[in-house]
Structure 1
Amino acid sequence: MPVRPLLGPSPHEIVWRAPDSARVLSVLQNPAYAGAYVYGRRQKDPSRCRPGSLTGTVKVAIADWAVCLRSAHPGYISWEEFMANQRRLADNVAHFEAGHAGVPRKGAALLQGIAVCGRCGRRMSMRYTGPNADYPVYCCRSDRDQEGSALCQEVRALAVDALVQRVVLDALVPDQIEIALAAAGQLEQESRQLERQWALRVERARYEAERARRQYDAVEPENRLVARSLERAWEERLRVAEAVEQEHARWRGQEPLLIGPAECAGLQALGENLPRIWNAATTSAADRKRILRFVIREVVLDQKRTRGQVWLKIVWQTGATSEHHVQRRVHTYRNYIDIDRLRQRIVELNAEQKMDAEIAAILNQEGFVAARGCAFKGENVWLLRTRWGIPTVKINGVDKNPRRWPDGSFSIQGAAAELGLTPQTVFDYLARGLLAGRQLAKGQPWQIELSDEQISQLRNRVRRTKHSKKEAS
């Protein structure tokens, strides 16, 4: 890139240097490339000046520039593009504060930069936990950093990100887009009607001001009392007209943007291709965040509002909001939000003669999640049944275990009688691998496989053991 250094061996001569971030940033922030002549981009701040050094220069906001002449010469980009670039550069600043989402980065957290604390309203930062740092957590540490108090809150990101991803993809399916476009068309009609009403109000206010001016101009100069009265009336009409115009400008700024035919076609194409693009292996985490920010402005998180759940409010780019809840990871089922419904469902499925593994599969299909946020397993169901005193479903109902099961395998009692052992010794043989057995589920009766050869070998082993004990005594 061409550079004109002020110092060095060749001052004020153009030299070519490799581009760096500072040079590229100066080009993006230079209004001359937008065809504008400006003055007053920087000024001296006396509180920052130090004697004998060139310090104290600060940047001035664009609205406070002393001179800003647009279209002073042909530009490479328009003034609107220049202002959009300035807003994007300001938004890319890595400050976790209101109004600054930051640039999307390569981390796995989907809401990086747009997560807002529902307790204090501050922007939430990120940290990663786990042995491989692959578990993102949204943190609000402003209270601790500024006041030395405890953390405001921490929200585990995986469950929240999964819900937001599902909501976004569901909202952008073609059917939902058609409904949204129809609603947008209705809003556009209402907006045009309101615009006509505002135009009439502005026109009437201007007419009243112009009428007051004509009355003032028509009065004779020697009628000073009448002239002063008409002048005050004219000034009042001018203030009313200015107030109406400002109110109209505020209303227009709050109105949603209108969608044209090109945008409608783009949204329909996006609804058809978005799931494929989102799930593609070539789509990086930063790309998904950029896609998300096209439709979502910010997400407010609060895990202390509802017991056992994370409450979140999605603020869409259109200004609309939607509230959702997601089951958060808890350390004990005492904090489980749907504990009563979960217990009732386990009781019902157990009464239907379902095994623990079958109950776990049904619970997963119905949308239940375990306390730690993962899918239910048979072991989880067994633990809950044991805690709540729900009896197990046995192979033979409520009867005592038979000597042998219908498939030919032995029960604990049957194996003990066949081998001449106590039931506790049979359990010990199973633990040591001397016997092979299985359970349909945890808590179910054992089914032990015994061949004639195994029975003979184990009986001889028992006799040798008893004989050795007699000799030792």
Structure 2
Amino acid sequence: EGYISWAEFERNQHLIAENANGKSYMGRGSIRRGEALLPGLFRCGRCGRRLHIQYSGKGGNTQRYVCRGTFGDMAAANCIGFGGMRVDRAVAQEVLERLQPLGIEAALQAMEAHTQRHSDKRQQLENSIKQAQYEAARARRQYDAVDPDNRLVAGELERRWNEKLIQLRDLEIELETLSTDRDMPALSADDRARLMKLGRDLGQAWDSPSVSTETRKKIIRLLITEIVVDIVDDTLAIIIHWQGGDHTRMTVKKNKIGQTRWAVKADVVDLVRALARQLPDLSIAAILNRSGKRTGHGASWTRSHVCSLRNTYGIPVYREGERAERGERTLDETADILKVSRATAYRMVSSGVLPARQLCAGAPWIIQLSDLQDDTVRREADARRSRRPISQDPVQNPLLF
């Protein structure tokens, strides 16, 4: 009879085949280093082959899944390829949603395990003390039975007896320390509340810095057999095959060509495109920083950052005087035209008397020159300048001296 059953042997062979890297188009391969969470799980929806993982970028921290198709045999083009960060997050979120009902149960089990570990350690020490007491008593009997004249043997037995007594004393001290200081104290109310919170919010536990990427990969592989993926237009059509036979269909938006996780947000690009028609790069950088906008890397804006962004998206640089050519005036220029203070001009804008637009908080107010020629705006400016209330009757025009 063999050492293991035939079923266990077949299971081991299947596990070895699954963990073999680069040996089969079908095997998932073992868990390896790298930030990608799903290597070995993706299968091409076009040719059925496993997708390969490729790392690039500075430090090799940018992952990309690629199906090489028949490239090895016919030097054909790759079937599909896509960035890995967005799809990794989407699948991980789906896994967390499946695990969510088990989160509270796992938290309760963790509490019970914490208490059980303390009891197990105490029981283990008590058993060790009993064994040490037996060995010390046995060593004493051996010492008592020896002939005192045989000093060599008596000395050796005495040494062994002393060693057993020292071991017994150390174990008794450890048990006493465990009973008094409680190396593993019972969980406090705050600890229990924290565990229950983690059970309800597995995402916080998943994103914890103490959880390694290898651990996340193991959890995902315990739940997912494979993921069939195909590219449809600008989205990824995904079918997740769960352990047990369930399937989940989902779509993930695919990054556009040239779009990476370091790309500047679209609303910031649109804002820079509009501000570039009003201000130079240095002023644009100051406005973006005051508005709390950040670059793709999360840094503050500088003149060179704005210039680089304009060059990337083909945004022309601000030309001195182009705003005046479009008939646009700033708040200071408006105050000079209306012969009022800047604060008065701002109050006219705030009250709605003077139409104006502002691209974002901190950006300059832009007023059309045609609006400054309006009679209502002129009368309001004259009234505010002379500190007299303006009449609501349009026939009663103020006298200008």
| Range class of TM-score, shorter chain | 0.3 to 0.5
Normalising by structure 2, what TM-score?
A: 0.44
TM-score under structure 1 length normalisation: 0.38
